Structure 1
Amino acid sequence: MALNQWFEKAMSADDYIEKMEKNKEGLLHIYDTFNLPDHTDLYENIREKNLRAIVLTEDWCGDAMLNVPILLRIAEKANIDVRMLLRDDNLELMDQYLTNGKSRSIPIFIFINEEGNEVAKWGPRAAKVQEFIDESRAALPPKDAPDHEEKANEMYKFIGKSFRDNQDFWDEVYNSLINKLKSI
């Protein structure tokens, strides 16, 4: 299926958020709290590219909770029509955007032009956020340790809280996305 067809199949961001069962509060908190920098000329330059975005996501994903609201804020200023596809229901597309050629990591933002051609891909994380995740995982006990599962669950709760509350992460995501959009 062509990217234009995937875009047409996808749901609006509002519909996606309305149907969310997990991480909705966190996503809306970031959306409501994130202050988009005043880069009017930059947003105008992006607007002139007439981009659309397909987002592969799931509501349980903490990375999506962090990244999607920032994309939506940029999209409002730059007039990017954003549509959402659930990863697990759209594996045919997801498998074309594997992280490191093997992982179905999300979110993935596929930016397309008016003709439906991919012009950029972003995701699943900004580089500094990836470093934080890597450091957090490195601190876990080995997988065969008796307390591994307990410590992993604590880590995921801490990561989710950090994504929700650490505005430095929000800025990292913003800068990473903007740099990608500027490169188109």
Structure 2
Amino acid sequence: MTNLSKWYDKALSPEQYRATLTDLKVGFDKIYDEFSVSRDDDIEMLKDKDMKVLVITEPWCSHCMLNLPILLRISEAVGFDVRFSLRDENMDLMEMYQTNGKNVIPRVLLLDLDGNEVAAWGPIAPYTKEVQDKEKHHLPKTDSPDYDEKVKDMRSKLKDIFSTDEKIWMGVYEDLKKSLLEV
């Protein structure tokens, strides 16, 4: 069991993290303002768990823009403290939580009250991956002259989808909730 107290203790509060947002602030705030947690049995069960959350993130990441407002809403509903560790300033932490050898974010680390990791989630919910893969399917081959432009267009489209599609929000919510309940 890995103890992450050293990173948790120096990580940003939700307010400090939100102050770092620039291009994705509008989308983050929209999701945060419009998403609400339903009071169901699962949420009531989570209230009985003594956990805190450390997130590896960056303010420029559109997946973070999508996932983290929903995580904050869950955490507020159940009383978990959340802290944010910027990936690029904490590569030693990120390297412990790579996805297929890559530094993909966000990574949501669930900790007991002593700072020991009990579970990890991320970087992407299954339904979000389906939507993203569908968009990637339309990309030209990497050696195509317009590949970079098409990737940029796809990222912009995904950012718009992430900030408006409530079905994606619910997919993130259900997947995060499932991971929290398994602890």
Compute the TM-score of the two structures, normalised by the length of structure 1.
Answer: 0.95
The alpha-carbon deviation at position 4 of structure 1 amounts to 1.1
Q: How does 1:1-184 map to 2 (within 5 A)?
A: 2-39=3-40, 41-100=41-100, 102-184=101-183
CA distance in 2, matches of 1:22, 1:113: 33
5+ unaligned residues in a row in structure 1: which ranges?
A: none
The alpha-carbon deviation at position 44 of structure 1 amounts to 3.1
5+ unaligned residues in a row in structure 2: which ranges?
A: none
CA distance in 2, matches of 1:158, 1:30: 16
CA distance in 2, matches of 1:79, 1:38: 13
Between 13-22 and 61-70, report the one with greater CA deviation: 13-22
CA distance in 1, matches of 2:29, 2:56: 18
Q: Any idea what the Cα deviations from partners look like across 1:19-57, whole Å, max 9, x if unmatched? A: 222201110100000121221x42232122211000100
Contact 2:3–2:117 (CA<8 Å) still a contact in 1?
Answer: no
CA distance in 1, matches of 2:148, 2:114: 47
Q: Any idea what the Cα deviations from partners look like across 1:31-88, whole Å, max 9, x if unmatched? A: 000121221x422321222110001001110000000000000000110100001100
Three-state SS of the structure 1 residue aligned to 2:19 is: helix
Contact 2:125–2:175 (CA<8 Å) still a contact in 1?
Answer: yes
Matched AA of 2:64: A
Matched AA of 1:74: I
RMSD of aligned residue pairs (Cα, Å): 1.2
The alpha-carbon deviation at position 126 of structure 1 amounts to 0.4
Percent identity reads 38
CA distance in 2, matches of 1:54, 1:22: 23
The alpha-carbon deviation at position 14 of structure 1 amounts to 0.7
Matched AA of 1:35: S
CA distance in 1, matches of 2:37, 2:3: 32
Matched AA of 1:70: I
CA distance in 2, matches of 1:115, 1:122: 19
